[in-house]
Structures are given as C-alpha cells and as structure tokens.
Structure 1
Amino acid sequence: MRQGRAALEPRVLKVSRGVNAYAEGSALVELGQTRVIATVSLDQKVPPHMRGKKEGWLMAEYLMLPRATQDRQNRERNMQNGRRHEIQRLLGRSFRSVVDLKPFRNQTLVIDCDVLQADGGTRVTSLLAGYAALFDLSDRLVKRGTLSEWPLKHELGAVSVGYVGGELLVDLDYGEDARASADLNVVATAAGLMLEAQGGAEEEPITSEAYFKLLAVGLEVAGELSRRLHAQL
C-alpha cells in the first residue's frame, strides 16, 4: 500500500470553484499534496493567425511558484524554459480539444495555471484545475445570458501512470515519479476516450505491450478522475 492507497488508486481530489474574485473563471484543485490554482481570462482580441476566423482562440500558461517545492526555486523569468513550454503546449492542446471556440469569436481564452505546492503530477493537476476554471467560466456566462449554449464539448480528466520497481502505479507522487522506469501523462474524456498522452521510458526501452498497458490504465483512471471532478463542480 502507498500511504494508505492501492497501486491503481488515485490520490484524494478536492475542487474549489470561484476562488479568484477578478477572473472570469477560476478554480483551486488539490490532488494529494499537489495544489494548483487556475484562472481563465477573456482577452478581447485574437493572435494574428486567428484574425478573420469564425472562432476564437485558447492559450494556456503554466508557472511553478518559488516555494511550490521543498527548496525555494528562482522565479521563472526565462520565457524560453523548455519544460514550461512543453507543459503549456500540452495544456493548450488538451483544453482546445474540449472547448467549442465558435462562441468566443474575436476573443482569446487565457488559462493561467500556477502551482502552489508540488508533490508530483503538477501537469495533470493543472489540467484538472484549468478544466474546472473553464467550467466555472462557462457556468457564469450561461447563467448571465452571455452564452446561449454550453461551450464545453467533453468532460476532461487526467492522470499520471508509471512503472515503479516493476509495478504499475497511477497518480505518482514526487518520490514515485523520481523512481519510475517509464511514465505517461494521460488526458482523456469521462468516457475514457484519449485526448493526449505524453511520456515514455525513463531508463531502458519498454515493450509496446507495457506501453499500451500504461495507456489503457491511464485512460480508465483519467475517466474516473473526470467523474470525481464533476461531482464537485
């Protein structure tokens, strides 16, 4: 048992909506000891490549706060940070796959995911928090009458999976992630349909059978976390 949970059991998920008084949508998500706050801002313009299109745009930013980890890290002032850009691309692609952007023509949805505390799974917790913030935004706009139809096409979930000491584990904490021989971050719908999968072997190559086992378990548990998330929204 891993701190009281089984190998295929994710950590406790806690969701709080509307945690920012100024953002159009916001949420705080806690997955075990990992905590991420996400806000959605509506920018009244689109990037050049979207001008004249019939739909709006969505972009995501990710940031780790200095004391999100055990030792203080310097603020991420370098916009060329490779890991940060990789995570932002994952977030942006995943969110764009579940949002109908036609109602947001000539607007950009900007999702900011800030890691308050990190204990593994910061990118999947950011995905859950960002989706919860999008839900908060959508609920506000529909109730206000700004949107006539619900803009979220799919219910999003995400989880990390990996092999640690030869055992398949889900929702890896920091210590498990550091020891994983292979791991994946899996993004899926509540029905278990894949949106994104990111990762692979960390040490020796793995077989296609081992990889697809990771993916299959990840899709199942990501769907479960999506349902848990919605139960709290």
Structure 2
Amino acid sequence: MPTRNDGRSADQLRPVTFTRGFASNAAGSVLISAGNTIVLCTASVSPDVPPWMVGRGKGWVTAEYNMLPGSTSPRKQRDRQKVDGRTTEIQRLIGRSLRAVIDPVLLGERTVSVDCDVLKADGGTRTASITGAYVALYEALLSCDDLSPSARWPLRESVAAVSAGIVGGEVLLDLDYSEDSTAEVDMNVIMTGSGQFIEVQGTGEGHTFTATQLQQLLAVGQQGIEQLTKLQQSALGLG
C-alpha cells in the first residue's frame, strides 16, 4: 500500500492526542491534536435552558465553533458582527452530533455549551472538534453533583468523527489540508462508539463516485471511528 506525504498508509489516522483540563476555568476542557490540527474544546454548564424548553424537564446541549485568526494562512478574520455560513454549518453539526448521544431528560433542566476553537488548522477541524467535544462534554457532566456514570448519567454512548476521501483515485482516511484541497471526493463520517451512524457528509469535488467507492469510504471511516473511540476512552480513564 503506497504511503502519503506524511508517511502514513492510506487507512491510517494522524497521531491523535487529548490533553484534558487544558482550560481550568471550564467545567470540562480538552486540547485535541490530530496531526497538525489543534482544537481547544471547552464545555460549560448553566442551570437553565432556552426559553422554549422551560418547564419541560429536559436539558439542552449546544455548540459554537470558531477558527482563531492565526489558525490558518492567510489570517482568518474574526467573526465579530456575523458568523459566516461555514461556521454556522459546522457548529450546528457539532451540536447535532452531541445531542444524538445524550438523554435530555436525564440531563435535567440545564444547558451545556461546548465551544470549539481551532488553534491550528491542517484539515479535519470539524471532525477533530466533534471528537474533542465529546471528551469535554463528558468531563463537564462529571462536575454536576447529581450526575454520575454509576447512577444517573445522561450520556448514552460516545461520539467521534473522522474524514475520508478519494485523492488521486485512492481512498484515504483522515485527510490533511494538502489532501483535502485536492480531493476528488471529500467525506465526513460521524458515528457512535457502538458503530451507529449519526451523520455522513459526502461530496464529489468536480468528480462523481460509485456505490463501491461510497462503501469503501464508509468502511475506512468506521475503522477510524473505532480507533478514535478507544483513544477517547483512554483519555477519560475508561479503557
């Protein structure tokens, strides 16, 4: 199997690390590094819910995403007045992904806000954000006095995400920027730790792809999710 520009095989993740407790003022935080992509994920808990949820006995999880000015070149402008369409789409994806694995009734009437700030971008920022956001969310829930993994625990299972794509006719896992920017097909796969799909985003970039290639992309993506799930468990002291 041919190697890539960073020496990886086609089905190999970039090196992934989690540094928990990176932001001491947040209820939960983790710095996730996936190769040269680095994202700070923090989770904060407030004892209230959006107005439309008051009195329903359910909690809410929401997410925000941002790329810091120095995270990419050329400099990324700050979203001071209006959040751009890409940012809006990504933070909605992160929120949906987290809500897919949480029981809002067991969460209770509280809101968990997860912030994903990209410090360095080299492809896969949205997938790294989701993977790190789960760890930050888990840590934040541990700070709630009435919640415990051994008793009342709102997380049904884990969630992680990874990119896959077709570059030069070859199916690759976990694209860096040089690969993502030249990919014929680009896909993001979001799954639970038990192997259930939450969302699949697949696009032909000026190319088409076959049903066989789609299955190959999903298979390599699922393989990557399995590895990421083990790394999450290890980071949380569960594996």
Once residues 12 and 61 of structure 2 are traced to their aligned partners in structure 1, the CA distance between those partners, rounded to angstroms, is 32
Choose the corresponding residue for 2:154, options 151, 154, 159: 151
CA RMSD of aligned residues (A): 1.5
Could you tell me which residue of structure 2 aligns to residue 137 of structure 1? 140
Q: Secondary structure at the match of 1:54?
A: coil
* 1:19 Cα offset (Å): 1.2
1:145 to partner: Cα distance: 4.9
CA distance in 1, matches of 2:110, 2:24: 21
Out of 107, 112, 115, the position equivalent to 2:115 is 112
Helix, strand or coil at the partner of 2:181: helix
TM-score, normalising length from structure 1?
0.93
Correspondence for 1:211: 214
Contact 2:103 2:154 in 1 (8 A): yes
Q: Which residue of 2 aligns with 1:189?
A: 192
What's the secondary structure of 1:129's corresponding residue?
helix
Shift of 1:42: 1.2
Match of 1:20 among 17, 20, 23: 23
Could you tell me whether the CA contact under 8 Å between 1:188 and 1:223 is conserved in 2?
A: no
SS in 1 for 2:164: strand
Identify unmatched segments of 5+ residues in structure 1. none
CA distance in 1, matches of 2:159, 2:95: 13
Give the AA of the match of 1:170: L
Does structure 1 residue 41 correspond to structure 2 residue 36?
no
> Which residues of structure 2 form unaligned runs of 5+?
none
Cα distance between partner residues in 2 of 1:110 and 1:181: 35
Q: Residue 229 of structure 1 aligns with which residue?
A: 232
Deviations 1:27-85 (A, max 9, x none): 11000010001111112221232222121111100000000013222112243411011
Matches within 5 A, 1:156-167: 156-167=159-170
Q: Within 1, Cα distance between the matches of 2:29 and 2:12?
A: 27
Q: CA shift at 1:146, angstroms? A: 4.8
Q: Could you tell me the percent identity over the aligned residues?
A: 42
2:60 corresponding residue in structure 1: 57
Structure 1, 3-12 or 148-157: larger mean CA deviation: 148-157
The runs of 4+ residues in structure 1 deviating greater than 3 Å are 144-148
DSSP-derived class of the 1:179 partner: coil
Question: 1:211–1:159: structure 2 CA closer, same or farther, 3 Å change rule?
Answer: same
Paired AA for residue 177 in structure 1: D
Deviation at 1:24, TM superposition (A): 1.1
Deviations along 1:130-168, whole A, 9 cap, x unmatched? 111012113333xx5554423221122211000000000
Return the letter of the residue paired with 1:55: K
Q: Is 1:91 paired with 2:94?
A: yes
**How far apart are residue 207 of structure 1 and its match?**
2.0
SS of structure 2 residue aligned to 1:67: helix
- Output the TM-score relative to the length of structure 2: 0.91
Name which of 180, 185, 194 aligns with 2:183.
180
Aligned length: 231
Of 93, 102, 112 in structure 1, the residue corresponding to residue 105 of structure 2 is 102
Q: Partners of 1:106 and 1:140 in 2: how far apart? A: 15
